[in-house]
Amino acid sequence: MVTIRPIEIFLLQFVLYFILWLVDDYLATLLSISFGVIAFFVLVIALISEWIEKSKVPRIYFSFMVISMLTPFLVGAIYLFLTKGRLSWLEGGGTLF
| DSSP, residue by residue, 20-73 | HHHH-HHHHHHHHHHHHHHHHHHHHHHHHHHHHS-----HHHHHHHHHHHHHHH
Say if 96 falls within a structural domain.
Answer: no
Is position 42 within any domain?
A: yes
| Residue 89: CB atoms within 10 Å | 15
- pLDDT tens for each residue of 26-76: 999 999 999 999 999 999 999 999 999 988 888 889 999 999 999 999 999
Q: Indicate whether 53 belongs to any domain.
A: yes
What whole-number distance in Å separates Cα of residue 62 and Cα of residue 79? 26
| Full-model pTM | 0.83
User: In the chain, how many domains are there?
Assistant: 1
Distance, CA of 37 to chain centre: 9
1-14: average pLDDT: 90
Residue 25 lies inside a defined structural domain of this protein: yes
Residue 19: domain span: 6-84
* Residue 92 included in any domain: no
Whether 55 maps to a domain, the answer reads yes
Query: What pLDDT, on the 0 to 100 scale, is given for residue 29?
Result: 93
